[in-house]
Amino acid sequence: MRIAVIGYGAIGRFLISQLNSEPEIETCAVLSLPRADICSKPVVDDIEGLLSARPDLVVECAGHGALRTFGETVLRRGTDLLVVSVGALADPELEAALRSASSSGGGKLLIPGGALGGIDALSTAREAGLSSVEYTGRKAPAAWKGTAAEKIVQLDRVTEPHTIIDCEARTAALIFPQNANVVAAIALAGLGFDKTRVRLIVDPNAEGNLHSYVARGEFGEISTTIRSKTLEANPKTSVLAPFSLVQTIKKRSGLIPA
């Protein structure tokens, strides 16, 4: 199986390093801007160069802007696209454009489970009768630096848990694109962006990133909580997030059961 990666930041580097030991999976190209001279894989600086490598799957690891810039092209060319920046789909115009490109071109838009478990159960609950979904994300101050949280609370002076925002998922994902990809994954699996409730918390005592949600409906109730260590190169990202990409790719390559 041939994969191409958009982005050579913390997640892109981690993903490539994890797949290096899998001979059945070849990283045939990496799109990096600026060009990553230290990358051991073939590096290109435009989407045409990436697609000319004939990947079976393109993995977006470069942020919301990259998904907006390159996503439609990949899908219209009939190539499947695995998306890290799921939060970008909170923009209804972008979501519609990507779904249209997928429909017309044949490429599939793939959403990983990310740092949260129970996504399959949530999707099943939606079919069985889902009435409410409430998500809470709790992270240490360092994970909120460089985000809109800095305008809401003085991160260096937080001494107890503080709720940054309490709103529906669409607003949370758009305001906190670096922290709320898991919010978007929950929304897409469940009731959608406008009916999923989200609370984001800065907690000076947090050890890793804490993700939890409660879903209720005619089926009963689902309650899931995961405390994940953060990626060393980026405290905003849970370690489980890039590993969910690895798992998805291995499933598609047949290395593990789907």
H or E element at residue 5: strand 2-6
Residues 90 and 130 both lie in one domain: no
Q: How far apart are CA 199 and CA 139, in angstroms?
A: 11
Which residues are 132's β-sheet partners? Answer: 216
pLDDT tens, residue by residue, 193-209: 999 999 999 999 998 88
Region 174-183: mean pLDDT is 84
Which segments of 61-188 are extended strands (E)? 80-83, 109-110, 130-139, 162-168
pLDDT confidence of residue 36: 64
Residue 196's DSSP bridge partners are 133
Q: Are 144 and 177 in contact (CB under 8 A)?
A: no
**Residue 12 domain boundaries:** 2-110
β-pairing verdict for 109-110 and 130-139 = unpaired
Q: What is the pLDDT of residues 104-158, one digit of tens each?
A: 999 999 988 776 777 889 999 999 999 999 999 999 999 999 999 999 999 999 9
Looking at the chain, the number of H-run helices and the number of E-run strands are 9, 13
pLDDT of residue 115: 67
Question: Within a domain: residue 254?
Answer: no
The reply to whether 244 falls in a domain is no
Question: Which residue, 59, 17, 5, 30, is CA-closest to 232?
Answer: 17
Same domain, 52 and 138: no
**Longest distance between any two alpha carbons in the chain, whole Å:** 54
- Mean pLDDT value of segment 242-250: 91
Please report whether residue 257 resides in a domain.
Answer: no
Strand ranges in 32-100 using DSSP code E only, listed in sequence order? 43-44, 57-60, 80-83
Least confident of 63-77, 124-138, 159-173, 243-257: 243-257
The answer on 223 and 138 residing in a single domain is: yes
Judge whether 139 and 152 are in contact, CB under 8 Å.
Answer: no
Q: 166 and 199 in one domain?
A: yes
- Among 110, 129, 151, residue at a domain's last position: 110
Query: What pTM did the predictor assign?
Result: 0.88
Q: What is the pLDDT of residues 202-228, one digit of tens each?
A: 999 998 889 999 999 999 999 999 988
Q: Which residues are catalytic?
A: 211
Give the DSSP letter of residue 151: G
Residue 150 near residue 159, CB atoms below 8 Å: no
Domain shared by 32 and 92, yes or no: yes
The reply to whether 96 and 151 lie within a common domain is no
Cβ–Cβ < 8 Å for 184, 225: no
Same-domain pairing of 106 and 123: no
The CA distance from 4 to 46, in Å, is 12
Q: Using CA atoms, how far apart are residues 66 and 61, in angstroms rounded to an integer?
A: 8
45 and 125 inside one domain:
no
Q: How would you label 137-158 residue by residue, b for 16+ Cβ within 10 Å and e otherwise?
A: bbbbbebbeebbbeebeebeeb
